[in-house]
Chain A
């Protein structure tokens, strides 16, 4: 994208002025080089989002934005139900509540390195990952409904993890307002064998070393220190979320004209929040959020089991769990007035600044942890929500490095064996059932994550707290 075609607000904020059918402007938060690297489709998609009914303030693209479907990945948009605002299945995505959680262990990276090969092997054996893998938990109808209502709270009650974990999860581990009875039988069937599975693609479990601290106070509050080992889990709502997305994308695309919604592109399929369809999607999408929270909670339990076997007595408390693909009802101040909005974050993280939201005391003082995944060969980051993020982008931040190259091109450029060998030479062990899967996820296929987080920090979305380097990566 050519930055000269945008209106420069600051070195890290760029505006597409409101023209034509746009109801608000669109804003892209990134430095000039990241903008240059963005696909022209990001402009088209974020401009289209700005045309949707009831949108408030602006349609935002985060520094890691790339071409998605409907909304760009890295897209944020809030809608007011009192102004005819809409909810969009494409604005949430198929992988509802895909997200990241981090366990801040009391182990050092040196301890992991001392058993790295065996530990990586055992972790990959214990975490069901990749196409065709099945979980160890198979829920009956009543169990499925309880899980879809209870989220991580259900998982803890079933013995996966601890009550202390719940305070460290958005919504305290349980999304209110879920309607499991409205979730289709097909969505439930698709989930039957997938509880406690990682998935494939860009999903991973990674053991990382804290290499640098940038904000001592926040690091102390988060329980992070140099040389420490952490475990990061990236996955979502699995087959259930995928099937909900499939069903509602179709239904909303066909129903939109009946609601008098003129879509700039059919891929923006949506329905008024207050409509029967909008409310029905909201309820099942919230069940999907609970499914993702339960899934990450089970995987946490499995990871802790492996840690215990290798390092008896070690602790791995949950630092935080963030969701990326959601639509949440939140209060935001718009032009001096507090308004109830439905905020879509697709490939974007909530980023509450100090004192905001429902964060437990140690986190509330410094802001919400924002967990940024890099690629399996590059650094990841822990950021803290900045109090300016509310003004800049409705308390939102980036979610990862963002792809710079398609899977297709990556698989033609690299081989899985080559990538695995190169990373092993750098002390990083990658396990995966698929060599092509590794090639498609090659570090070179992603943007420079450091540049992404620097843009997020300088724009006021989130402050850098700690940099992490990968030691072990279990890929799907």
Chain B
């Protein structure tokens, strides 16, 4: 479900040419999971995606915002090279290492009607931070 007024969840924020993806979570890891859900929703409705296969990835970066960039780019790469969509994400962050699992299924063009492919996560509006309300925010603009 899309986040509203700072509750955990995902949302899109406007960008003239591309799309902004945002995740809010009780931890940085949950915010990253929700940002990945927002990324998927750019392509197809999350509710239409079945969790049939699992893909695991890992990335490393000392800067949390670069770690988010790497995570979203791993999701994008898996989508592109496996021709899959993912609706379920599990992230663990320990120090500068992220280990992620995503579950999904091969693209079904008739059922998913995928609208646009993400090309990559950008540094524009890139931000990972803990907000004053204690929740974590993870966001950036994705080129589509």
Say yes or no: B116 contacts A440, CB within 8 Å.
yes
Q: Which residues of chain A from 197 to 216 have any CB-CB distance to chain B below 8 Å in the complex?
A: 199-201
**Contacts of B122 on A, CB cut-off 8 Å?**
69-70, 90, 94, 249, 267
A63 contacts chain B at the CB level, 8 A cutoff: no
A407 contacts chain B at the CB level, 8 A cutoff: yes
**Contacts of A253 on B, CB cut-off 8 Å?**
66, 123
Segment at the interface with B among A239-247, A273-281, A302-310, A458-466: A239-247
Q: A69's contact among B77, B80, B141, by CB below 8 Å, is which? A: B141
Question: How far does the alpha carbon of A435 sit from the alpha carbon of B19 in the complex, in Å?
Answer: 18
**Contacts of A243 on B, CB cut-off 8 Å?**
77, 120
Q: A245's contact among B43, B81, B119, by CB below 8 Å, is which? A: B119
Given known contacts A186-B77, A433-B109, A434-B113, is B14 in contact with A409 (CB within 8 Å)?
A: yes
**Contacts of B112 on A, CB cut-off 8 Å?**
132
**Contacts of A407 on B, CB cut-off 8 Å?**
18-19, 116, 144
**Contacts of B12 on A, CB cut-off 8 Å?**
408
Interface residues on A, range: 35 or more
Q: Which residues of chain B from 1 to 30 have any CB-CB distance to chain A below 8 Å in the complex?
A: 12-19
Interface residues on B, range: 35 or more
Say yes or no: B16 contacts A67, CB within 8 Å.
yes
**Contacts of A133 on B, CB cut-off 8 Å?**
109
Q: A254's contact among B44, B66, B109, B115, by CB below 8 Å, is which? A: B66
Question: How far does the alpha carbon of A95 sit from the alpha carbon of B122 in the complex, in Å?
Answer: 13
Question: How far does the alpha carbon of A186 sit from the alpha carbon of B124 in the complex, in Å?
Answer: 23
Given known contacts A242-B80, A435-B113, is B123 in contact with A70 (CB within 8 Å)?
A: yes
B101 contacts chain A at the CB level, 8 A cutoff: no
Q: B123's contact among A269, A404, A406, A436, by CB below 8 Å, is which? A: A269
Say yes or no: A246 contacts B73, CB within 8 Å.
yes
Considering only CB atoms, which chain A residue lies closest to B14 in the complex? A406
Q: B119's contact among A68, A95, A189, by CB below 8 Å, is which? A: A95
Say yes or no: A199 contacts B81, CB within 8 Å.
no
Question: How far does the alpha carbon of A193 sit from the alpha carbon of B81 in the complex, in Å?
Answer: 8
A91 contacts chain B at the CB level, 8 A cutoff: no
Q: A200's contact among B16, B70, B77, B115, by CB below 8 Å, is which? A: B115
Pull 17 A–B residue pairs with CB atoms less than 8 Å apart, ordered by A. A66-B16, A68-B17, A70-B122, A90-B123, A93-B143, A131-B107, A190-B80, A200-B144, A242-B80, A250-B73, A406-B19, A408-B13, A408-B14, A409-B14, A434-B115, A435-B113, A476-B117
A-B CB proximity, top 7 nearest: A132-B107, A131-B114, A69-B124, A246-B120, A437-B115, A69-B122, A242-B119
> Beyond A94-B119, A437-B115: 7 further Cβ-contacts under 8 Å?
A95-B143, A131-B117, A200-B116, A242-B80, A249-B123, A440-B116, A476-B116
- Partner-B contacts on A (CB < 8 A): 39, 41, 66-70, 73, 90, 93-95, 130-134, 186, 189-190, 192-193, 199-201, 239, 242-243, 245-246, 249-250, 253-254, 265-267, 269, 403-409, 411, 433-437, 440, 476
